[in-house]
Amino acid sequence: MYNEASVVGSVIKGLLPEFPHVVCIDDGSTDGSQRAAREAGAVVVQHPVNLGQGAALQTGLEYALSDPEVDAIVTFDADGQHRVEDAKAMVARIHAGEADVVLGSRFLDGRTRVSWLKRLVLKVAAIQSRLATGMALTDAHNGLRVFEPSVAAQIHLRQNRMAHASELVHQLAAIKPRWVEQPVVIIYTDYSRSKGQSLLNSVNILADLFFR
């Protein structure tokens, strides 16, 4: 999370009844998000400086893997755009042995309303990653994912900013786990819209991927 003090508490409180072990990676917030997260009952791991979402994701995976009893790792955005029941259903599929990785997708059904421009950009990103990796994803940039620990241990994200989503798909394609997509709903609130990814940022994503 990076400066999400107004929402992170309620997100964590929503998660705790279903998932008792919530770790919140603070990416150098300056608005007291750390305290809000601790008070809500999460373990907070604090980056000393702001590094980016990809770096936070990798830190979270490494922290979760250091727990010897971990059996599934859920990545869940701190801004409240994901639903706990989606995460629960995805973990159930891991526990049932159906797959090693469950990736959320907002495009498997019509429940999530996405503007046509955003839909176009995300579709192009998905097609690009399909051509580059052979993984037929419908939504490459969805933050809700569940990993089986042995798969998570093989992920090493080096893209600190937003290009980590594409990088993750590339690495999964190399690891070749059993993967499935789960239809999930993205809750676009005024808050997440105001903080969310500007479409212009897709230019930065392309540049990061090209010049790595």
Partner 1 sequence: MQILVQIVLVLAVVLVSVALMRGGSNDRHLAIRRIMLILFACVAALSVFFPIALTHVARLLGIGRGTDLVLYALIVSFLVFMATTYQRFRNMENTLTLLSRRIALDESVRPWAIPANDSGPAE
Binding site for partner 1 (CB under 8 A): 21, 25, 38, 41-49, 51, 55, 58-59, 62-63, 66-69, 158, 160, 211-212
Q: How far is the CB of 37 from partner 1 (least distance, A)?
A: 10
57 vs 122 by CB, closer to partner 1: 57
Nearer of residues 44 and 99 to partner 1, judged by Cβ: 44
Which CB, 51 or 92, lies closer to partner 1? 51
CB of 66 to partner 1, least distance (A): 7
In the complex with partner 1, the residue whose CB is nearer, 44 or 169, is: 44
- Mapped onto helix, strand or coil, the DSSP state of residue 51 is coil
Maximum separation of any 2 CA atoms in the chain, in Å: 45
What's the min distance (Å) between Cβ of 94 and partner 1?
20
| Beta strands, E only, the chain | 23-26, 43-46, 73-75, 101-105, 145-147, 179-183
Q: Is 109 exposed, middle or buried (0-12, 13-18, 19+ CB in 10 A)?
A: exposed
| Cα angle 110-197-15, degrees, rounded to a multiple of 5 | 65
d(CA 112, CA 82): 11
Nearest to partner 1 of 43, 120 (CB atom): 43
Q: C-beta of 5: minimal distance to partner 1 in Å?
A: 17
Q: Which two tokens stand for residue 140?
A: 């490459």
Shortest spacing between CB 200 and partner 1, in angstroms: 20
